[in-house]
Amino acid sequence: MARAATTADAFNAVAEPRRRQILDILAGGERPVNDLVGLTGLAQPQVSRHLRVLREVGAVDVRDQGRQRLYRINGQALKPIHDWVAAYERSWSERFEQLDAVLEELQAEEVDDGSDE
Amino acid sequence: MARAATTADAFNAVAEPRRRQILDILAGGERPVNDLVGLTGLAQPQVSRHLRVLREVGAVDVRDQGRQRLYRINGQALKPIHDWVAAYERSWSERFEQLDAVLEELQAEEVDDGSDE
DNA sequence: TTGACATATGTCGATATGGATATATATGAT
DNA sequence: ATCATATATATCCATATCGACATATGTCAA
């Protein structure tokens, strides 16, 4: 065996800086491939390749218009990443620290007064 | 040239399913390497290697305890991922859809009544 | 010191991947 | 039909990376 099974998932798609760049551009609106070539400075075949990867994980959709192919973002494909990483948000979010403080306080009260009322 | 400069960043670290698995385990608390070996089913050297990558991007911290090395998570390293992906949350979040609806409504009112009052 | 245990590092082979270049396909214009 | 434009695909090379395995390092115990 060698490398782990090629995971063609959103995590991998987004691990490439160029692909993130492309997504960031598309966040501004639908674009034909040539625009992306110009804006990224990559060669056209490379852009098409990155777009293919993004397409395969559902991060972008395509639409034909004459001889152009208009790509647009489909952020929904990134939801799994968001969901996964959100579990670790506690580590840096002030909100959670405050929540923790409140919970501790509640617990302290409960210890203070064990009655139902 | 070949592959783009090896980006040893959080995005890459987390692109590996095994490394996500390790982080998920560590989310439950500090663990020595051997625990991770047992829980992941990976060989010890592979675990050490993945831990190294995670260490290099700051996603985990180590602490020596006798002959063991206790690893624990440092979720803060994942914040850039969270921040980046959050920009696309609009695509799936109901909250944003509601916000958009409100904004559209406000805009409609403004068109209705162009006066300052 | 010797030996067992815990972990890290080095090497190897297989494969995946990105960029460069050439070429194929599709569409529109003449 | 011919040509230009827009995009996708194929091939090649260089490198990165994973798992397997061997081995080094470090720590504790006797």
The 10s digit of each residue's pLDDT in A71-117 is: 999 999 999 999 999 999 988 887 777 887 888 889 888 766 544 44
- pLDDT for the residue numbered B2: 45
Task: Give the chain B residue whose CA is nearest to the CA of A91.
Answer: B75
Indicate whether B54 pLDDT > 90: yes
| Calpha distance B75→A7 (Å, rounded) | 23
pLDDT tens for each residue of A15-53: 999 999 999 999 999 999 999 999 999 999 999 999 999
pLDDT at A97: 76
Res A29: pLDDT: 96
How far is Cα A5 from Cα A25, in angstroms, rounded to an integer?
Answer: 30
Tell if A90 CB is < 7 Å from nucleic strand D.
no
A37-46 LR contacts (CB < 8 Å, sep 24+): A42/A18, A46/A18
Q: Nearest residue (Cα to C1') for C10?
A: B45
CA B88 to CA A78: how far, in whole Å? 8
> Residue B8 is encoded by which pair of tokens?
């040893």
Distance between CA A56 and CA A74 in Å, rounded?
12
Structure tokens at B15: 């692109």
Residues in B touching A16 (Cβ below 8 Å): 4
Q: Which nucleotides of C are covered by protein (CB under 7 A)?
A: 5-10, 13-23, 26-28
pTM confidence score: 0.84
Q: Do A89 and B73 touch (CB under 8 A)?
A: no
Residue–nucleotide distance: B66 CA to D27 C1' (Å): 6
**Helix (H, G, I), strand (E, B), or coil: what is residue A73?**
strand
Q: Is the CB of B18 under 7 A from strand D?
A: yes
- Residue B94: pLDDT band with limits 50, 70, 90: confident
